[in-house]
Chain A
């Protein structure tokens, strides 16, 4: 009972602070910056809680970008990072963003990592005219407020459905596969991918012969695999995350299902090879925004700097955030102002980063191609760029 009261109290405080944000928000718009000024940047991440591994990786990516910016003599401003932990919770994320924008007066916010927590900050961003750049909010239409995008919300990752299209195209055209089986997780992520994959694959002329679903945290897939094994499919698309996908791959291969396996960025984890077994990860492809295969000099430099700083290799999330932070910093230098001018500089940016070059489309999502990597004994060996819209 006490907890409930407290919660009600807390949420009314949040609501109240948002109201206050409304009225004072317009006052913070567009401040002119002088060279050598100290500019604050908000880092709003899932530093604890169930998805802390994403938030931690992104926080490190952003911190590295800021550190490198401050160390560079040509930089116009001195950047001070203000971090907030949103615990992976949407309402915590809203209050974190509100605090960063109204109390700390940050120029822009990078983060959060997950779609739900990100979307919760977009209305606050519009109210206070402070841009939010989400590195990895991949949910379909995450940046949209009805028919138009939130003016101050941007993301630099492609959305879930985009990958589903890319993988369908890759399977049908690049690999010449005609009959697909889909095993998907019952979640927005899994269902969204399945829908667009099916659509694209059938539009191209292929056939989806079976679609089976599972719940997150399931471990036994023998029933599903036995059921789909004899459908005569030449490709299996797994729309889910590595924790279950790894087990599905292991169990499918052990049951003698040796067709090509496709997946999306949910496969992106070193745990995939541990769960599935290296010997089972052949003839397997997945889409991602980041790979160190055929790394450019910039990427190699980033990997070295990151590894030196944190004693571990970066992943997709840290690279995306590194890009998102640099995008914000470049726009800040170009605009020389915060608020509406900074928003315009970001919206018009032509950015070249570690995770690809892009400009923003009218939904404030990047126009970039999807990378498809293949696995040989669990190790990435090749990367192909696929543009699903061509």
Chain B
């Protein structure tokens, strides 16, 4: 039982990271129906941005987090403006392939500038841990979980309660109708990229601190898993992304604990296959009938 609870804590902190990345996937998909494969690399850029700020400018955790959020947000908006906007009314596959191209550009540009070797963070957060009964929890795990939950609540508030959020939801339902209602569609889409990318930036910083190891290709696997988390939760749904992320994290950890650590990646892809067969709209996804 102790081991189970401990594994649950491990799974929650891993899942929180996936959830943060999945939020960006789900928002972008929700609004322009594009699977933004460059999203995992924005997460990587967030990690590198905070690495540079903390290592060479000597700033602390909070400023590094905020600057990385702003940096990733701006990069996200730029990518949308340069790469996706001209293709907004092209076929979906065109945009998808462009997204993969952007992903490679970011990965290899970073590799070119920063080198391909692993980098380590200076110590930003205490690595102290405390015991809750028999379970050991590190402060970093607490930070990760709490920050993820807070950001998710803020995001839900923005989407549901603010004027911008209403615009986002409107564009998501029908872009043309939204435009006729006087909504600035371009601005709304940019804002969505800004939010999603900033969250990926947060995830990058947290991972950099928690694992103390970053490299230019670090976004590939978590990006893919976060995408699966978004599909699992119902792509387009914010609480769905959160639940999906946590579920994938816990599933991976439990497979390691009670099966073999070699199957932990396999299980994630099996989940993807099952969800696509059994409930393609995802856990919380709405089944929208396609207009013909």
In the complex, the number of residue pairs spanning A and B with C-beta atoms less than 8 Å apart equals 71
Question: Which residues from B are CB-within-8-Å of A219?
Answer: 207, 211, 213, 218
Among the listed stretches A29-37, A242-250, A320-328, which one makes contact with chain B, having 4 or more residues with CB under 8 Å of it? A242-250
Nearest to A246 among chain B residues (CB) is: B213
* CB of B136 within 8 Å of the partner chain: yes
* CB of A209 within 8 Å of the partner chain: no
* CB of B3 within 8 Å of the partner chain: yes
Q: How far is the CA of A227 from the CA of B252 in the complex (A)?
A: 13
Q: Are A243 and B10 CB-contacts (below 8 A) given A213-B260, A215-B265, A275-B212?
A: no
Docked-complex contact B120 and A53, CB < 8 angstroms? no
Question: Which residues from B are CB-within-8-Å of A217?
Answer: 217, 221
Nearest to B260 among chain A residues (CB) is: A213
B108 CB to nearest chain A CB (Å): 13
Q: How far is the CA of A247 from the CA of B118 in the complex (A)?
A: 12
Docked-complex contact B136 and A271, CB < 8 angstroms? no
Question: Which residues from A are CB-within-8-Å of B252?
Answer: 220, 223
Nearest to A52 among chain B residues (CB) is: B116
A240 CB to nearest chain B CB (Å): 13
Chain A 243-260 residues near chain B, CB threshold 8 A = 243, 246-247, 250, 254-256
Q: How far is the CA of A52 from the CA of B25 in the complex (A)?
A: 35
Question: Which residues from B are CB-within-8-Å of A275?
Answer: 118, 120, 212-213
Question: Which residues from B are CB-within-8-Å of A226?
Answer: 3, 6-7, 10, 257
B204 CB to nearest chain A CB (Å): 12
Q: Are A277 and B212 CB-contacts (below 8 A) given A223-B252, A223-B256, A254-B138?
A: yes
Q: How far is the CA of A222 from the CA of B6 in the complex (A)?
A: 9
Contacting residue for B118 out of A223, A230, A271, CB 8 A: A271
Contacting residue for A243 out of B6, B118, B129, B207, CB 8 A: B118
Question: Which residues from A are CB-within-8-Å of B213?
Answer: 219, 243, 246-247, 275
Chain A 225-277 residues near chain B, CB threshold 8 A = 226-227, 230, 243, 246-247, 250, 254-256, 271, 274-275, 277
A257 CB to nearest chain B CB (Å): 10
Question: Which residues from B are CB-within-8-Å of A256?
Answer: 129, 136
Docked-complex contact A247 and B211, CB < 8 angstroms? yes
Contacting residue for A271 out of B6, B7, B117, B264, CB 8 A: B117
Question: Which residues from A are CB-within-8-Å of B13?
Answer: 222
* CB of B261 within 8 Å of the partner chain: yes
Question: Which residues from A are CB-within-8-Å of B7?
Answer: 223, 226-227
Q: How far is the CA of A250 from the CA of B140 in the complex (A)?
A: 13
* CB of A10 within 8 Å of the partner chain: no
Question: Which residues from B are CB-within-8-Å of A227?
Answer: 3, 7, 256-257
* CB of A361 within 8 Å of the partner chain: no
Q: Assuming A214-B261, A243-B213, A275-B213, what are 14 further A-B pairs, CB within 8 angstroms?
A: A213-B261, A213-B262, A222-B13, A223-B7, A223-B11, A224-B261, A226-B3, A227-B7, A243-B118, A246-B213, A254-B138, A256-B129, A256-B136, A271-B118
Question: Which residues from B are CB-within-8-Å of A212?
Answer: 261
Q: How far is the CA of A250 from the CA of B123 in the complex (A)?
A: 13
Nearest to B131 among chain A residues (CB) is: A256
> Which A-B residue pairs are the 8 nearest by beta carbons?
A223-B256, A222-B10, A274-B120, A223-B253, A219-B211, A226-B6, A243-B118, A224-B261
Interface string of B242-271 (1 = CB under 8 A from A): 000000000011101100111011000000
* CB of A19 within 8 Å of the partner chain: no
Question: Which residues from A are CB-within-8-Å of B6?
Answer: 226
Nearest to A256 among chain B residues (CB) is: B136
Question: Which residues from B are CB-within-8-Å of A293?
Answer: none
* CB of A384 within 8 Å of the partner chain: no
Docked-complex contact A220 and B14, CB < 8 angstroms? yes
* CB of B127 within 8 Å of the partner chain: yes
* CB of A140 within 8 Å of the partner chain: no
Q: How far is the CA of A230 from the CA of B265 in the complex (A)?
A: 24
Q: Are A223 and B10 CB-contacts (below 8 A) given A215-B265, A271-B118, A274-B120?
A: yes
Q: How far is the CA of A132 from the CA of B260 in the complex (A)?
A: 42
Question: Which residues from A are CB-within-8-Å of B123?
Answer: 277
* CB of A186 within 8 Å of the partner chain: yes
Q: How far is the CA of A246 from the CA of B253 in the complex (A)?
A: 20
* CB of A50 within 8 Å of the partner chain: yes
Contacting residue for B262 out of A50, A186, A230, A274, CB 8 A: A186
Docked-complex contact A255 and B136, CB < 8 angstroms? yes
Could you list some 12 contacts between A and B, CB below 8 A?
A215-B265, A217-B221, A222-B14, A223-B7, A223-B10, A223-B254, A224-B256, A226-B6, A274-B120, A274-B212, A275-B212, A277-B127
Docked-complex contact B127 and A254, CB < 8 angstroms? yes
Question: Which residues from A are CB-within-8-Å of B217?
Answer: 217
Question: Which residues from A are CB-within-8-Å of B120?
Answer: 271, 274-275
Contacting residue for A223 out of B212, B218, B264, CB 8 A: B264
Interface string of A29-69 (1 = CB under 8 A from B): 00000000000000000000010010000000000000000
Question: Which residues from A are CB-within-8-Å of B14?
Answer: 220, 222
Q: How far is the CA of A247 from the CA of B207 in the complex (A)?
A: 12
Q: How far is the CA of A234 from the CA of B211 in the complex (A)?
A: 25
Nearest to A214 among chain B residues (CB) is: B261
